[in-house]
């Protein structure tokens, strides 16, 4: 099949005037910030080395992307059938470029790319139509905790009901319940922003607390269900507070 060459070149005058050198870590951060509002679950791949002479990527549809400048290269693979896309971050100043392709499943050597981060799908557990509620956090004001629940027994240690347990049924052979709870000195509306996998056994859970000016001690909880996670997994919890 004849390849289609997409040549993308930065202006020579621009390259000659930029002196800053972007590291791999800086490029990773630039891309993650760029994708901060991405709503669809995705897997982000990265080339592990700087493409000093530019990069040529052959896609699954035998299309060739030629990027004629030194850059860090990334590929986003969506989990819902959406076409993926390529991103590059220039070595010189960190300018970011998106390249969209059609009917492409990614570069043919994607198995050799580094997985940078995975946005994991989650579902919020509601107790609205039950007689149950989550037990309150027992720590100090403006603190919180994360509890990993992989069994019915542990679930019942963290929930209380006025009648017989009538909480939503959870298949713990396939799923894990992550319960984040805390206490704050203002009225808050808590919600889960992202649950992300950073490595095989490392995760990042980001909770947003939408605060109000009303002063009242508030016990809050965010319970989410995800695919089964091992008890030994390390989950970093980040609590972000903001006022609308």
Domain that holds residue 70: 5-119
Helix, strand or coil, per DSSP, at residue 101: coil
Q: How many CB atoms lie within 10 A of CB 157?
A: 12
Asked whether residue 90 falls in the same domain as residue 127, the answer is no
- Do the beta carbons of residue 181 and residue 192 sit within 8 Å? no
| Per-residue pLDDT tens digits for 168-177 | 999 999 999 9
Asked whether residue 94 falls in the same domain as residue 128, the answer is no
Tally of domains within the chain:
2
Kindly give, in sequence order, each residue whose CB lies less than 8 Å from that of residue 89, ignoring residues fewer than 6 positions away. 22, 27, 30, 31, 71, 72, 74, 95, 96
Q: Are strands 5-8 and 64-67 parallel, antiparallel or unpaired?
A: parallel
| Per-residue pLDDT tens digits for 94-127 | 899 888 777 677 787 888 888 888 889 999 999 9
- Cα distance between residue 191 and residue 235, in whole Å: 17
Q: Which among 61, 86, 119 is the end of a domain?
A: 119
Statement: residue 2 has pLDDT above 60: no
Q: What percent of the chain has pLDDT over 90?
A: 43
| Per-residue pLDDT tens digits for 45-99 | 998 888 887 777 776 677 777 778 889 999 988 866 678 889 999 988 889 988 8
**31 DSSP 8-state letter:** H
What mean pLDDT is reported for the chain?
84
Paired tokens of 70: 């030194």
Please identify which residue in the block is written with the tokens 């000195």.
185
Asked whether residue 93 falls in the same domain as residue 146, the answer is no
Q: Report the pLDDT value the prediction gives residue 107, as an integer from 0 to 100.
A: 82
Sorting pLDDT into bands at 50, 70 and 90, what band is 8? very low
Asked whether residue 70 falls in the same domain as residue 115, the answer is yes
- Do the beta carbons of residue 212 and residue 186 sit within 8 Å? yes
Q: Which among 102, 119, 136 is the end of a domain?
A: 119
Asked whether residue 112 falls in the same domain as residue 162, the answer is no
Instruction: Tell me what the mean pLDDT of segment 162-173 comes to.
Output: 89
Asked whether residue 127 falls in the same domain as residue 182, the answer is yes
Q: Which among 86, 104, 119 is the end of a domain?
A: 119
Asked whether residue 57 falls in the same domain as residue 17, the answer is yes
Sorting pLDDT into bands at 50, 70 and 90, what band is 20? low
Q: Report the pLDDT value the prediction gives residue 209, as an integer from 0 to 100.
A: 95
> Which of 3-12, 137-146, 164-173, 194-203 has the highest mean predicted lDDT (pLDDT)?
137-146
């Amino acid at each position: 099949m004849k390849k289609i060459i997409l040549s993308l070149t930065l202006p020579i005058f621009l390259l000659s005037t930029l002196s800053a050198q972007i590291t791999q870590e800086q490029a990773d951060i630039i891309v993650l910030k760029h994708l901060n509002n991405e709503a669809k679950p995705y897997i982000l791949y990265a080339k592990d080395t700087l493409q000093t002479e530019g990069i040529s990527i052959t896609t699954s549809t035998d299309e060739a992307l030629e990027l004629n400048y030194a850059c860090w290269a990334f590929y986003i693979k969506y989990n819902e059938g959406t076409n993926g896309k390529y991103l590059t971050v220039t070595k010189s100043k960190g300018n970011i470029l998106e390249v969209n392709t059609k009917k492409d499943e990614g570069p043919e050597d994607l198995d050799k790319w580094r997985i940078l981060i995975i946005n994991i799908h989650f579902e919020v557990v509601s107790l609205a139509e039950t007689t149950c509620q989550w037990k309150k956090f027992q720590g100090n004001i403006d603190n919180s905790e994360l509890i990993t629940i992989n069994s019915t027994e542990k679930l019942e240690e963290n929930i209380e009901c006025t009648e017989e347990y009538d909480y939503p049924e959870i298949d713990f052979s396939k799923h894990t319940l992550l319960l984040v709870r805390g206490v704050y000195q203002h009225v808050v509306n808590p919600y889960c922003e992202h649950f992300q996998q950073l490595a095989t056994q490392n995760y990042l859970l980001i909770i947003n607390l939408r605060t109000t000016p009303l002063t009242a001690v508030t016990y809050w909880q965010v319970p989410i269900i995800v695919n089964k996670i091992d008890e030994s997994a390390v989950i970093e919890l980040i609590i972000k507070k903001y006022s609308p």
